[in-house]
Amino acid sequence: MDLAIYGAQSIALGAYEAIHNICPDRKIRCFLVTRQDRNPETLHGIPVMEVGGFSQSLSDQEKQSIEILIATPEPVMQEIEGTLDRVGLRCHVRLTSSGWAELMGYRYSCDRTFVPLQALPPGYHRAELHVFMAKFHKDKPLAGRYELPEWVMPIQAGAALGGERVAGILDCDGENISAKNANYSELTVLYWIWKNRLQHPSAGSEHGYYGLAHYRRVLELAGDDELRLVDNGVDVVLPYPMPYEPDIEAHHKRYLKEADWAAVQEAVRRLCPEYAEFFPKVLGQRYLYNYNIVIARRPVLEEYCSWLFPILKRLEETSVPPASERADRYIGYAAETLETLYFMFNKDRLRIAHAGCRFLT
């Protein structure tokens, strides 16, 4: 049975690459979208087609013999299913975030490009995990029920900006940049972790792992994963990277103004020249660590924060307009590329493992 993938962004592209890698003989006819709009005309040389036109090009028999894999953000999947049913494409299945992660894990277990945490053997020592989940007072309630692991602690991001209290821990307590949340997004929580946990005398052993999650995006460590960290010497756990075409520089230019992007690069050149030399190589490849999500050993995360936040501070000052005159999350977007730069630069020095990122709806 032929396959078409519904979606034309990173989730769909990742699904295509994994399926093509695992099952090279499986024929993938096209990528489908509701409207062409800002979507590309092709991905990986495969055409991107509007679902209405694609359906009209098929006979009734062909409609019965093609499978549609819905590879989009989960909140829009139900609407897409309705669209497919209306045009007679009724053989469809959802690729959930957990399913996408499982697909990526299998792929990378085979080619070892981005080592899955679950590919490592369980050890005897359970990691001491402290992951803080950023919540904002305007976040919509989850439609489903999700039990947080005991090591995930909700913390209110941007608490200094007011609003209803939605967590027992506030990122405006202690040393903080909570009031800058409109530009830093979840990074006001990472800053709070850095200053009030990682640098605190009671932070615990260097084998303690600290990290950042989101209200709707959580790294999935399940089963024996807590036993795979310490004894395998894992320094960092990151989400499976998202692929982009043609490269991640083009992707981030969609989210950052040209002047802001120039300010990011200038900040890296000024403060970290050795990273600046490596930056073009990272920008010219296709994989990005999204969402600023990370779990790392305490000294590793402290070192990363000590590198990251001075760059972001300079970006605040040199961007046009400066951060004090805007509220558009641009620093949070820039930090995703900087996280990718940092960990790709240090991939031979640090042992990096990867896990799925579950999207909660």
What digits encode the pLDDT tens for the residues 227-253?
Answer: 999 999 999 999 999 999 999 998 888
Q: Evaluate the omega torsion of the peptide bond into residue 321 and state whether it is cis, within 30 degrees of 0.
A: yes
- Beta pairing, strands 28-33 & 46-50: parallel
Domain boundary pick from 65, 95, 125: 95
User: Is 133 in the same domain as 248?
Assistant: yes
User: Is 137 in the same domain as 233?
Assistant: yes
The pLDDT value recorded for residue 139 is 87
Averaged pLDDT of the chain: 93
- Beta pairing, strands 352-355 & 236-239: parallel
User: Structural domain tally of the chain?
Assistant: 2
Instruction: Measure the CA dihedral 108/114/115/116, to 10°.
Output: -70
Q: Counting beta carbons within 10 angstroms of the beta carbon of residue 266, is it exposed (0 to 12), middle (13 to 18) or buried (19 or more)? A: middle
100 is a domain residue: no
User: Is 52 in the same domain as 158?
Assistant: no
The pLDDT value recorded for residue 360 is 83
106 is a domain residue: no
74 is a domain residue: yes
Task: Give the CATH number of the domain where residue 88 resides.
Answer: 3.40.50.20
User: Is 79 in the same domain as 202?
Assistant: no
Q: Is the pLDDT of residue 202 over 70?
A: no
pLDDT in tens, 330-357: 999 999 999 999 999 999 999 999 999 9
User: Is 250 in the same domain as 292?
Assistant: yes
Q: Which domain holds residue 314?
A: 117-359
Mean pLDDT of 298-308: 97
User: Is 138 in the same domain as 71?
Assistant: no
